[in-house]
Amino acid sequence: MQDERENLDEGGRIVEARLAAIIDSSFDAVIAKDLNSIITDWNPAAERMFGYSADEAIGRSILMLIPPHLRNEETDIIRRIRANERVESYETVRLRKDGSTVFVSLTVSPIRNPRGEVVGASKIARDITQTKESERRIRVLLREINHRVKNQYAVILSLIRETGLSSVSIDEFQAKIRTRIASLAASHDLLVRSEWTGSTLAELVKAQLAPFGHESLVTISGPLVSISPNAVQNLGMAFHELGTNSAKYGVLSGAGGAITVSWSVSREPAAELTLTWDESFDEPLVPEPRAGRGFGTVVLERVAPFALNGRASISRSPSRITWTLEAPASSVLMEQAGADGDA
C-alpha cells in the first residue's frame, strides 16, 4: 500500500510538472484567480502580454487589467463561475501596464478543489490585436472600393453619354466606347497592382500609350512622381485621348515626328506640377491637326485639370500640338528618386 501511495504521488507530481511546463511555455497568457478576483497564478506569456512580472501581478486584483467601462465583465464572470455556469469564449479589450490596450480572446474555466468545489477561475488570453487591425483594414478597404466603384460607374456613364453625342453611327460609338473603357481598365490595373496607393506618372503614360505602339517615337522624362488614384484615372483618360488623336492624325499614325511627355515640380512660390505633351511633326499637317473632338477636348481642357485642381491649355498648329497642365503639387503624391529614363 505504501508503495502504491508513493507511486500515485510520484505520478501526480509528474502530471503537475508537465502541466506547469505547458503553461510556462504557452504563447497565450494563462492567469488564475480566486473568487474574489485576486490573481493567484501568472505565466511568462502573461508578463509579455501585459507587462507585469509575476511578482507584480500575483496578489493583486484582476481589475487592474480591465478598462473601467468593461469591469462589469468580471462581475458577470465571477457570478457565472460561482453558479457553475459555462462561460463561452469571447473577445474583449484589456489594459497593459503602460496603459495601452490589447485586443484579446478570452477562455474562462472554473478551478475546483479536491472536493469538486469551485474555488477560482483560470483565464487563457490570446492577443488578437493584429487580427482586429486586419479586420479594420479590410473594412476600410471595402468602403474605399465601394466608393471607387461608384465613381467608376459615374465615369462610364459620362463616357457613354458624351461618346454618344459625338458619334455619327453605332459602329463609331462602339469603337470609341470600347477603347475608352479599355483605357479606364488600364489605369485600374495600375491601381490594383499598387493596392490603390496610386501610380507613378511614367507608368501611367506607358500604360496608356502602349496600345498605340510606336514606343520609339515617344520620350518620357521627369522626376519620379507618384500621383493619387483619382489623378491616375483622370490623367489616364487624358493620355488616352491624346494618344487616340495622335494615332488618327499625328505621330502615332506613322505621319513622322516625335512626342515628348515631360513634367517637373517647382518649389517656388508654391509647389506645382507642370505636365506637358509636346507632339511635333516632320512635315506640317493639312488640315491643321486637332487635339481631340467632343469628349476628348472636354477631358483635356476640363476633366483632367479639375481632377488635380489645376489648369490646362492646348496649343495647335500644322506642325505641333502641345497640351500643358499645371496643378498644385499637393494634388500629387511625390517622391524624388532621380529622373526617369527616356522611353
Of the chain, the percentage scoring pLDDT greater than 70 comes to 86
Domain termination site, one of 62, 95, 127: 127
DSSP conformation class of 301 = I
Q: What gap in Å lies between CA 129 and CA 127, rounded to an integer?
A: 6
Instruction: Please report the pLDDT score of residue 191 as a whole number.
Output: 80
Q: Are residues 250 and 325 in the same domain?
A: yes
Beta bridge mates, 111: 120
Of the chain, the percentage scoring pLDDT greater than 90 comes to 27
Which residues touch 300 (CB under 8 Å, ≥6 apart)?
238, 241, 242, 291, 292, 312, 314, 323
212-239 pLDDT tens trace: 888 899 999 998 888 888 888 889 989 9
DSSP conformation class of 309 = T
Q: Are residues 158 and 119 in the same domain?
A: no
How would residue 287 be classed by pLDDT, with cut points 50, 70 and 90?
A: low
Instruction: Please report the pLDDT score of residue 13 as a whole number.
Output: 53
Lowest-pLDDT choice from 6-10, 103-107, 133-137, 337-341: 337-341
Length of the chain, in residues: 343
Q: Are residues 35 and 97 in the same domain?
A: yes
Q: Are residues 182 and 215 in the same domain?
A: yes
| CA-only gyration radius of the chain, Å | 34
Q: What gap in Å lies between CA 37 and CA 60, rounded to an integer?
A: 8
Q: What gap in Å lies between CA 38 and CA 32, rounded to an integer?
A: 8
Q: Are residues 147 and 113 in the same domain?
A: no
Residue 336, pLDDT above cutoff 50 = no
Residue 278, pLDDT above cutoff 90 = yes
Residue with cell 473577445: 91
- Give the chain's mean pLDDT: 81
Q: Which long-range contacts (CB under 8 A, 24 or more apart) does 89-95 make?
A: 91/128, 93/67, 94/50, 94/65, 94/66, 94/67, 94/125, 95/50, 95/64, 95/65, 95/66, 95/67
Domain termination site, one of 104, 127, 150: 127
289, three cell numbers:
491637326
Choose between 326 and 25: higher pLDDT: 326
For residues 119-143, average pLDDT: 86
Pairing, β 332-339 against β 223-227: antiparallel
Count of domains for the chain? 2
18-30 pLDDT tens trace: 555 455 556 788 9
How would residue 331 be classed by pLDDT, with cut points 50, 70 and 90?
A: confident
Q: Are residues 171 and 121 in the same domain?
A: no
How would residue 328 be classed by pLDDT, with cut points 50, 70 and 90?
A: confident
How would residue 157 be classed by pLDDT, with cut points 50, 70 and 90?
A: confident
Q: Are residues 110 and 138 in the same domain?
A: no
Q: Are residues 146 and 193 in the same domain?
A: yes
Q: Are residues 143 and 254 in the same domain?
A: yes
Instruction: Please report the pLDDT score of residue 171 as a whole number.
Output: 85
CATH number for position 286: 3.30.565.10
Which residue type is seen at 178? Answer: R
Which residues touch 210 (CB under 8 Å, ≥6 apart)?
186
Domain termination site, one of 127, 154, 188: 127
Burial class (CB in 10 A: 0-12, 13-18, 19+), 269: exposed
How would residue 175 be classed by pLDDT, with cut points 50, 70 and 90?
A: confident
Q: What gap in Å lies between CA 127 and CA 79, rounded to an integer?
A: 25
Q: Are residues 26 and 90 in the same domain?
A: yes
Which residues touch 103 (CB under 8 Å, ≥6 apart)?
91, 92, 93, 127, 128, 129, 131, 132
Other beta carbons less than 10 A from residue 193's beta carbon = 11
> Beta strands of 144-243 (E only): which ranges?
199-200, 218-221, 223-227
For residues 259-286, average pLDDT: 86
Q: Are residues 105 and 175 in the same domain?
A: no
Q: Are residues 205 and 67 in the same domain?
A: no
Q: Which domain holds residue 260?
A: 132-339
CATH number for position 23: 3.30.450.20
296-324 pLDDT tens trace: 788 888 888 887 888 999 988 888 899 99
Which residue type is seen at 110? Answer: P
